[in-house]
Amino acid sequence: MTISEPDWRVFKEIRAVALERLTHRILNECRAVCDDETLPAHDRYLKLYELIHKRDEEMQRAFDDFRRSTAIVCLITMWQLDLVTLDELDRFSLDTLHWVRRDD
């Protein structure tokens, strides 16, 4: 399932925005863990370690395999992670939308 050339151009733009969104989300989550004074420092460290590990897996699924042949799978993951808005998704062709929104 390879994405069309026009959709690939849109994907590249939206991918950059989605990556920034996920990075901000992760940093905010990390900040919240670090600032949680109700937990001992070591517990916060362990919680932070688990969070980073989990978020790194999500980031890999959504962003690490940057090719036209994997763009739809990456876009589906971005959609599932709530990193793409409906307005952004509407920029894609009906073929691509079919794959991304088939479970909605």
Q: What is the mean pLDDT for each group of 10 consecutive residues in the chain (104 residues)?
A: 92 97 98 97 98 96 93 95 96 92 68
d(CA 82, CA 43): 28
Domain that holds residue 54: 5-100
The number of folded domains in the chain is 1
d(CA 50, CA 43): 11
Q: How many angstroms separate the first and last alpha carbons of the chain?
A: 19
3-state secondary structure of 51: helix
* H-helix or E-strand spanning residue 37: none
**pLDDT of 46:** 98
